[in-house]
Amino acid sequence: MSSTKKKIRELSIDEIKEYLTSISEKTFRSKQIFEWLWKKNAHTFDEMSNLSLGLRQKLEEAFLIDHIVLDNQQISGDKTIKCAFKVNETQVIEGVLIPTKSRMTACISSQVGCSLACAFCATGRLKMMRNLTAGEIVDQVVYLNNQAEKHYGQHLSNIVYMGMGEPLLNYKNMLRSTEILTSEDGLGISPKRITVSTAGIAKLIKKLGDDNVRFNLALSLHAANDVKRNKIMEINETNDIESLRESLVYFYEKTGSRITFEYIIFKDFNDEIQDARELAEFAKCVPCKINIIEYNPIDDGVLQQADPAKVDAFAQFLEDRNLIVNVRRSRGKDIDAACGQLANKNNAILKDERILK
């Protein structure tokens, strides 16, 4: 029965070699199997046509190939595509394809639900159900790349771990998925085309530095003082601004990679020049760029979009201090595919009145 079988996509190529040795098969077959699993995205062992029938039968008896399944797909008026994927009979994750003039970006999930409960994020209102496997993460990329080719005639140019879940709380599987995406035996994507976004877990940011990762790191900051950040991000109570500053300096010293600060700007909360001044001061700690992100409401009415004039003044203040600033306008809002909206319509939203008090 399948319940006794191991998921073969959880094995490294060396572990596949060990299995082949144990059944007296040539170890060079491991590269072929790995390519079928990742480059060719095989769903069955029967598809592995350059393997002998006997080996395919042995693989079928010992392993299963787990895959996510498309449950629903929506296309926005701005051409953004949101996909809901079933990862088992009851659990759903979402991934988004974001086409622009200069990029074709896949925004992918790392967990089913999330445990961090950030006030501005629909996913954060869900309970944390489980981590995704590396295969389930990579599957999203493969499917969204296929949609990019089908609808827009282009390959993916960028991958961002900014969907459902906190990637650093699924550290092992997140890291393995990036290794598969960047491996020549996998999808061969440049690590500089991949960005992992975190709400800010200091010790794991340092671990990324120790592991000398080559992908880009983004920090969801949204406020550069502890009082405000505590109100919208509970994680800040145990990972405050100073500890994040220290971890980012450590990460930069280890990797030499510039950090991206993500700053969702909210009306009458973090949109004043004083907020910009605090952000500019914090941003001095490492070479960085700053993405100011338009807020996407999630039905509770507590946080609201900042006025465009304030957004422009905020950005100008930062630019005048020689910081690299991009103002990101929302994509896919009409299908709840924009930043912070994933799972918005499928799950209960709890109102939190503490934020603006």
User: Same domain, yes or no, for 151 and 284?
Assistant: yes
Name which of 308, 320, 327, 262 is nearest 288 in CA terms: 262
Residue 347 lies in a domain: no
Active site (catalytic) residues = 94, 339
Q: Residues of the chain with pLDDT > 90: what percent?
A: 79
pLDDT exceeds 70 at position 340? no
| Number of structural domains found in the chain | 2
User: Same domain, yes or no, for 96 and 177?
Assistant: yes
Residue 303 lies in a domain: yes
For 267-289, write each residue's pLDDT tens digit: 999 999 999 999 999 999 999 99
User: Same domain, yes or no, for 8 and 154?
Assistant: no
Of 38, 64, 90, which closes a domain? 64
User: Same domain, yes or no, for 12 and 75?
Assistant: no
User: Same domain, yes or no, for 234 and 286?
Assistant: yes
Q: What is the mean pLDDT of the chain?
A: 90
Residue 193 lies in a domain: yes
Residue 153 lies in a domain: yes
Q: What is the pLDDT of residue 124?
A: 67
Average pLDDT on 92-118 reads 93
Range of the domain at 60: 2-64
Written as six digits, the tokens of 61 are 């008896």
Residue 351 lies in a domain: no
User: Same domain, yes or no, for 246 and 318?
Assistant: yes
Residue 228 lies in a domain: yes
For 133-186, write each residue's pLDDT tens digit: 999 999 999 999 999 999 999 999 999 999 999 999 999 999 999 999 999 888
User: Same domain, yes or no, for 78 and 147?
Assistant: yes
pLDDT exceeds 90 at position 120? no
d(CA 115, CA 125): 9
pTM as predicted: 0.89
User: Same domain, yes or no, for 56 and 201?
Assistant: no
Q: What is the pLDDT of residue 126?
A: 77
User: Same domain, yes or no, for 12 and 125?
Assistant: no
User: Same domain, yes or no, for 171 and 86?
Assistant: yes
Residue 341 lies in a domain: no
For 183-201, write each residue's pLDDT tens digit: 988 899 999 999 999 999 9
Alpha-carbon Rg for the chain in angstroms: 21
Residue 330 lies in a domain: yes
User: Same domain, yes or no, for 54 and 94?
Assistant: no
Of 21, 37, 64, which closes a domain? 64
Q: What is the pLDDT of residue 356?
A: 37
pLDDT exceeds 60 at position 97? yes
What's 21's domain CATH number? 1.10.150.530
**In a 10 Å sphere around its CB, with 0-12 CB exposed, 13-18 middle and 19+ buried, how is residue 30 labelled?**
buried
Q: pLDDT band for position 355 (50/70/90)?
A: very low
CA distances from 86 to 69, 231, 344, 351 (A): 5, 33, 16, 27
User: Same domain, yes or no, for 129 and 20?
Assistant: no
For 282-328, write each residue's pLDDT tens digit: 999 999 999 999 987 766 658 899 999 999 999 999 999 999 999 98
